[in-house]
Structure 1
Amino acid sequence: MPLKLDVKAGEKLVINGAVLENVGGNAKLLIHNDSAIIREKEILSQSETNTPAARVYFALQCAYMFPRHEDEYLKTFRGFLDDYLAAAPSAREIGEEIIKFVDEAKLYRALKATQKLIRHEADMFTQLADQIQATELADRLEDANPET
């Protein structure tokens, strides 16, 4: 079944490793064959991979975009994902979904599922920041009112 894409003016996308840019007005494309397609807004640069979940996404993205090196990138991806799940068992269900798509060779769907992992990580960081703030507040109040 063909894939229909709406590409906005100035938008870039990568199709089978080739970077395309729409230099005109909005365009509609119909992709008739199986292709690795990813939009610019879905691409992480290496400099953006500063968290464990982002590293999982980046390695998987590379496997998707560079099929000649897919095995190497998938090995790296799997190591990053295993490390993440060991540190955050609450993400196990998300991890299982990602692995299922990878095992089925549905790497784009695995990338979409990995976005949930990034959200999970952001939520964990927010909770941790809240806990740190509460601890600092409790410590400050205890210091202000020492027991006599």
Structure 2
Amino acid sequence: MPLSIDFKSGDKIIINGAVIENLGANVRLSVHNQAAILRGKEVLSAEDSNTPASRVYFALQCAYIFPQNQDEYVESSKKLLTEYLGACPSAQPIVDEIFENISNEEIYKSLKSAQKLIVHEGEILSKLGAELDGVAVE
């Protein structure tokens, strides 16, 4: 079944490593074969990968977009995941999910799981910030 993509004016999309920007009117695309596709909202720049979880996402994103270097990026993401888990054991279920997706060679699914890791990281940092605020008040 083809993948339908609404491609709005000004939006960017990556298809098999090529960045494509819609400079005209809104378009609806239909992709009929296997392709590595990331919509603009799913793309994380190197500059924006500035937290441990976002670095995991970025490495997996590169593994997905650049299959010729996939092994290198997957190994990097595994190392980052192991380090993350050492610092944040509560992320174990999400990390397990990412590792499972990687072992099943489902890199796009691992990206979706890495989004959960970013959310988890934000929640942990928010809790820590609230705790520190509570200590500072006392």
Interval containing the TM-score (normalised by the shorter chain) = over 0.9
Superposed displacement of residue 12, structure 1: 0.6
Partner of 1:62: 62
SS in 2 for 1:4: strand
| C-alpha distance in 2 between matches for 1:94 and 1:100 | 10
Between 23-32 and 117-126, the greater mean CA deviation after superposition: 23-32
CA displacement 1:81-111 (0-9 Å, x = unmatched): 1111111111111111111111111111111
Partner of 2:25: 25
| C-alpha distance in 2 between matches for 1:78 and 1:35 | 24
For structure 1, the 5+ residue unaligned runs are 139-148
Partner of 1:110: 110
| C-alpha distance in 2 between matches for 1:74 and 1:62 | 9
Partner of 1:48: 48
| C-alpha distance in 2 between matches for 1:39 and 1:83 | 28
Task: Give 1:121-140 correspondences, 5 Å limit.
Answer: 121-138=121-138
SS in 2 for 1:6: strand
In the TM superposition, structure 1's runs of 4+ consecutive aligned residues that sit over 3 Å from their partners are none
CA displacement 1:55-82 (0-9 Å, x = unmatched): 1000000101111100000110000011
Superposed displacement of residue 26, structure 1: 1.1
State the aligned residue count: 138
| C-alpha distance in 2 between matches for 1:25 and 1:112 | 29
Instruction: Output the amino acid matched with 1:127.
Output: K
- TM value normalised by structure 2: 0.97
SS in 2 for 1:24: coil
SS in 1 for 2:47: helix
Task: Give 1:74-113 correspondences, 5 Å limit.
Answer: 74-113=74-113
For the pair shown, the structure with the greater C-alpha radius of gyration is 1
- TM value normalised by structure 1: 0.90
| C-alpha distance in 1 between matches for 2:120 and 2:96 | 14
